[in-house]
Chain A
Amino acid sequence: MKGKEFIKKRFFLIIVFLQLLIFNQVIGQISNIVSSVKIGDAKEKLPLAISAELFSAENISNISIAYKTFGENEFKKAEMLIAGNTASITLPPEVVIPPYLEYYLIINLRNGSTQTYPIDITQGVSPLQISVSAVSEKEKEIILLSPNPGEMLSGEELLISISFIKAPENIDVSKTKIFLNDADVTSYELLTGDLIVLSGENLAGKIGFGAKLLTVEVYDKEGKLYHTISRSFQVVSTEVALAVSSKWKYYGNLKGESRNENYNSASTWYNNISGEFNTSNNDIRFNAFAYLTSEDKENVQPYNRYSASFQAGDWLDLKAGDSYPIFPNLILDGARVRGFSGSLNLGAINLQTAFGETMRHVEGKLLQTYPAGTVPLGSDIILIDKLRNIYGQAELGTYQRNLLVVRPSFGSGENFQLGFSYLHAKDDNGSIKYGARPQENIVIGTDLKLAFDDQNFMFTSQAAISVQNKDISSGTITDAQIDSIFGKNSNLGISPSDFKKIRDIVGNFITVNQYLGPWNPQEFSSFASETALSLNYLNNNLRASYVYRGNDYQSFGQTFIRTDVKGINVVDRIRMLDNKLFVSFGYESLKDNLQNTKVATTTYQTISASVSIFPRVDFPNITIGYNNYDNNNGLNITNTQTAPFAVSDNTNRILMQLSYDFAAAGIRNSSSLSFTTSNRKDNTMAKMDANFSSGSLTVNSFWNQQLSSIFGIVFSSSEIQGTQFKYVTLSFGGKYLMLENKLQLIASLSPSFGDFQRQVLELTADYNVLANLNLMFQARLFRIPGASTNSIIGLVTRLSI
């Protein structure tokens, strides 16, 4: 038996060594903007935090994330918040669904160009995947009953309790180890049946006041680590606990950062300060946030962010400043509004509203003037002096765009809700001098939700119609203009007086002139609707939906939405073997050219399948997925007339992800391994064939309470239209706590080899000067051999109150 164990350990070490030897490099996709992306714990129906570390925020206008769940063809997009050198977002719980999410980043640069991360998404490079675990079965099995997350209690009130009632049979409750911060307090536990209890009485005098991290290690009967649970809470004096339970609770922090970026021999200093303050008393909550940076300049969209919010239970929610209000996704979702938003939820009747600025005015620049008669044609040529009839060529600015949305609704939404939405957005024509084509938009929509049987049966539907004016600079059409167009000599067959009546009515809502559209509303060109039925029975979560969006549908509150598309989507997620096995299937068929505005109609068909295994024993969690994307518009690819317009491509993609927590030689390790390969065959004359393969391995090792390390390898190989590109990145780093855990040192090195060569060194020292004051020094060095060596050096101060 011992011999077998020895062979097994040797074999394991050999494999790890081989992996180290073969791939002498690691982590992070190729990009000169994004250094790495950090993903939070992706668990079913829990918000998911994603942050992108940037080499430099200089030259970036904004960053958005494009993401989609399993079985969907269409990526949803949302703007990320840029603060310092980090762009972050938290995805809402409803999109965090097993087996995995796919995403990529869209980086809009100040020079007007766009990059993606990973690069070349549009050329066929696969997006990144985030494996979403079903609500951890282990967490359902082993329940930390008390304390609650973040709970503040006195020593006498302290109750630590862990329930093993639902634990699997191979768990040995008596082997459980309990740590409070660094201290092992297992010996003070009381074990009664399937329950472990530690009360303040047992721990009297053993623990002091302050923040506590409770760590529970659960072992199986063979002594192997099965699961680890962590929870933070605070132990305070009885007086403080009483004050906290009876008065306002508050929390706040201030953070200041000063950093120097040395980029391509240009040295720039950036300074920013952020502050957050929260206070609550039972159902009443107040939150204030501000982020002010020296990067905020008049010639770009705002980098500063500030907001204040007030919440009273579930029934009142008010926000002022910057917010990202969520309305039905055809109306407003993901856009930043600087102004006011709020909701009043009375159950039977509710009201939700938002108004403010979605784009700040940015003045353009006059480059050259032209007297009448010498004006060249060009989209950047504008009239700059009406009286003297002088035109100019300009770098066009951006108009301030103001938006108002109102949505009254009826019903709480638990079983029924019917809502009506109205959106009006308009560019402020007078906000800048050098601009062109200010626009205006109206959207009217309705949405319905019906749910029964604890929402196991759910029907949702929404529909909206939009009207847009693509140039309101000339204002409303005048009576004289109407008479000249539709008057006596016109053969258009429209009565000028009727037209004036319509103008006066419609003009109450939107500017009426020749740029108002759509012109073909009878073809539903500006109509959009989505209907979905979800059934959650017999371990099946089946969702079928239908979508229709006309080619002219436009909402200024939802600029990311894909238009000119209709079709169905069916996804079934099946849970089997007591939630140890998840099998998912998806089918989607979409068509474009709804208003016959294209040469041919393209059908976009996606077939998806996935298997996820959560074995709950000493074995990795595994997800294997397969996708087939077929796009075809039926045009003959050999006919010289139709071939240039033909669409005929097919992509097969396979992905595999494994994650495994294990202990080796007394060291806890958390590892993940992923592999993706895709192959696109383009049958058209463009021959945009693409092959892409990538793999990564990451191992986090927790050597002791002070030291942890990370090791990773990324391998990527792509071939697009015959051009190959291969690279390998190796990453290794560590974190060390010293001076009684007051000083945290972090270092990492990531060299890349192959067709992409770069070395990145990051050093961080975070010192806890006082209980609530931290000083952090951060240095990043990234070198591209033979090209450049750039650096970012920064100092951050954090103060908590």
Chain B
Amino acid sequence: MKAKNFLIVFIIPWLIGFTSDQNLLLPGDTPVALVKKIVKDVSYKKAGQSDWDLAKTGDALFDGGQVKTGSKSLALVLFTDGSGLLKVRENAVLNIYGQRNNKQIDKNTYIDKGLIGFEVNKQEDAEFKFTTPTAVASIRGTLGFIEVGSDSSTTISLENGSVEIQALRGNRGSGRVTGGNTARIDPLGNVNLNAASDEDRKKNSTTRQLTTKKVKIKTPQGDLEIEYYSTGNN
């Protein structure tokens, strides 16, 4: 059979009959994030709500929602646009903000205190920001952790990728942190960039781990099991 005949018999008829169509945009109130996993004591509240509710897997977090972890606790928060995962470690408070911008969500998180590990996929046009009392960090795609100390100082350490940071106090210094490095923004707004210390690397490593432990307490009413998040030190 000639090639031309093959074309006529196969391809042209194959293309006929297929049609395309266009329809309308979906409406809806889509959460910014979801609780993917909880260990021990995790609570959340919606914007404007005064009381904390116990969180459970699958809880939706909308703009202005907050997640709080207790001692030895852990929460995994998954962004609904597929942009990444946050690991909220013990005794931390995470505020989540998100604005729908066509087919993407501009995300901002405010961290009052505690340590948050992050795995953020490469952002195309959408924004992904971390804000703390002393700094703001814009993320494009990276793996690392951000920690807010009791004195409001901020530490950002990266395993890979890059983050643009700007201090919100003092002379509002700015800089770029890349993989293997750590930025420390002190309460006065001074920015110090250094190679990640052993402690930073350990924190990065333990943040990536999701190791939990369980204790079983025998009581007259039956066994009581408590699962808790292990940081490796206990």
Contacts and interface: CB of A to CB of B under 8 A. Distances in A.
Interface of A: 8, 11-12, 15, 18-19, 22, 143, 145-146, 156-159, 161, 163-167, 169-171, 173, 190, 192-195, 197-202, 220-222, 242, 245-246, 282-283, 313, 347, 412, 414-415, 454, 615, 617-620, 656, 658, 660, 673, 675, 677, 693, 695, 697, 715, 717
Contacts of A202: 58
Contacts of B19: 618-619
6 contacts: A11-B17, A19-B10, A145-B80, A165-B105, A242-B227, A454-B122
Nearest to A243: B214
B46 interface: no
B34 A161 contact: yes
Interface stretch (B1-9, B65-73, B88-96, B131-139): B1-9
Interface in B18-67: 18-31, 34, 36-37, 56-58, 60
Please list the 5 inter-chain residue pairs (A to B) with the smallest Cβ-Cβ separation, ordered nearest first: A193-B30, A193-B28, A199-B58, A617-B20, A143-B82
Main secondary structure of the interface of A (DSSP, over half): mixed
Interface stretch (B147-155, B167-175, B183-191, B202-210): B202-210
Interface in B196-232: 205, 208-214, 227, 230
A22 B30 CA distance: 52
A414 B17 contact: no
B209 A282 contact: yes
Contact of A675 (B11, B22, B28, B30): B11
Contacts of B15: 620, 658
Q: Which of A164, A245, A618, A717 is packed against the most chain B CB atoms within 10 Å? A: A245
Contact of A165 (B9, B37, B80, B208): B80
A192 B28 contact: yes
Contact of B178 (A173, A201, A414): A414
B57 A199 contact: yes
Given A163-B82, A221-B23, A242-B227, A19 B9 contact: yes
Contact of A222 (B18, B21, B25, B103): B21
A414 B3 contact: no
Nearest to B1: A715
Contacts of A412: 179-180
A588 B226 CA distance: 66
Nearest to B37: A157
Nearest to A283: B205
A195 B80 contact: yes
Contact of B30 (A194, A222, A414): A194
Contacts of A166: 81-82, 103-104
Contact of B17 (A8, A163, A194): A8
Contacts of A715: 1, 6
Contacts of A18: 9, 13
Given A165-B103, A192-B28, A221-B23, A620 B18 contact: yes
A695 B10 contact: yes
Given A145-B80, A194-B28, A693-B6, A246 B14 contact: no
A22 B17 CA distance: 21
B58 A169 contact: no
B21 A220 contact: yes
B199 to A, nearest CB: 17
